[in-house]
Amino acid sequence: MKYFIKFLLFVFCLPVYAGIIRHDTPDAIYTQPNTNPALNSVGLVVFNTAEGPNTCSGTVINKNWVLTAGHCVNKAEAISFYLPSDAGWRFYQANTWVSHERFLNDDLLSGWDLGLMHFNSDFDITPAQLYSGDDELFSDVVSTGFGYSGDGYTGALGIDYLRRTGTNMIDELWSNEGDGRQILWSDFDHPVDSLYNLFNYPDFSFDDLATTLEIMPAPGDSGGGLFIERDGKLYLAGIQSFAGDFNGDGILGYGDAFGSTRVSSLFGWIQNKINPVSVPEPNTFLLFLLGLIIVVVVRKLNSSRNSNMFLNVCH
């Protein structure tokens, strides 16, 4: 399967922006309000670049931090974050942001497509918890984000800025760089036709057809959250990065796939950014003690030089 993924390097991949859904399932089921606090941590990102405004998604992981895709922030000149509520949108303005130092905008397959945004204002929702495990392969996942909509036959049709939530499965772990497993891959399966199954494992049939609420990111969903359930709790396992027209039919739909940057692979980078190790400043007493030691050392050196000069003169 990894050799097949390497072949996909030559297939056109696009940053993803909210969801392509099953053609036989009402859209209202995907857009119904989330009852799980983890899913409510995903909001809409609006950022401005020199080329104009764009939208992505992002996930609150700390009272002041949002995790998103690197290509959503690396060229941004201003970023706003919006969380939906019963009373309307709650608005937050980012004061700083950063993409991974190894991320290149034209290389989404490298596995470094991750970014962070910092906000001075505290978020009033429960942050998503990061997943640090190593057992994502073949796990069911929940995907959520904002942006374009459509179904497996039509592809992306338009954007309505509604949050859609659906399900899928992790079919493969692979990336072009890093530990070689920095992207979580999922295909978009058909409800009844297994010929659309892109990641086909001949010895297994559990991944041949669509999940109950099969979804694939579409053009507004980049930076959206990919969640995994462990012990009855949802954890943030991936950040949606790109989707590709792998079957060549000209749309993002059945038979295609998407990749999400794996959170566990870059767990350390995330933690170092939001919880930097600080060197404590020396207190006044330590500074005084250090100064006293320096004075004593300097006096001894001067005394030694004077003694040597006296000896040289006497001889």
The model's pLDDT over 253-296, given as tens digits with 9 standing for 90+, comes to: 999 999 999 999 999 999 999 998 654 555 655 555 656 666 55
Cβ atoms within 10 Å of 143's Cβ, excluding its own: 28
Comparing CA positions, the residue from 183, 159, 228, 200 lying closest to residue 20 is: 159
Which segment of 2-6, 26-30, 104-108, 299-303 scores lowest on mean pLDDT? Answer: 2-6
Sequential DSSP letters for 102-159: T--TT-GGGS---EEEEESSPPSSPPPPBP--S--TT-EEEEEEEEEEEETTTEEEEE
- Look up residue 274 and give its two tokens: 């939001």
Q: What is the mean pLDDT of the chain?
A: 87
- What's the pLDDT band for 310 if we cut at 50, 70, 90? very low
Domain covering 2-274 in this structure, CATH number:
2.40.10.120
The model's pLDDT over 187-236, given as tens digits with 9 standing for 90+, comes to: 999 999 999 999 988 888 888 999 999 999 987 899 999 999 999 999 99
9, pLDDT greater than 50: no
Average pLDDT over residues 67-88: 95
d(CA 234, CA 134): 15
- What's the pLDDT band for 11 if we cut at 50, 70, 90? very low
- What's the pLDDT band for 45 if we cut at 50, 70, 90? very high
Is the Cβ–Cβ distance between 71 and 221 less than 8 Å? no
Domain boundary assignment for the chain: 2-274, 280-315
**Quick one: CA torsion of 160, 164, 169, 171, rounded to 10 degrees?**
20
Strand-pairing partners, residue 52, are 49
Cβ atoms within 10 Å of 315's Cβ, excluding its own: 5
**Is residue 81 exposed (0-12), middle (13-18) or buried (19+ Cβ within 10 Å)?**
buried
Q: What is the pTM of this model?
A: 0.83
Handedness of CA 291, 292, 295, 297 (dihedral sign): negative
pLDDT at 35: 84
pLDDT at 117: 98
pLDDT at 292: 60
For the chain, give the percent of residues with pLDDT over 90: 74
Q: For tokens 């409510």, what's the residue?
A: 40
N-to-C CA span, the chain: 87
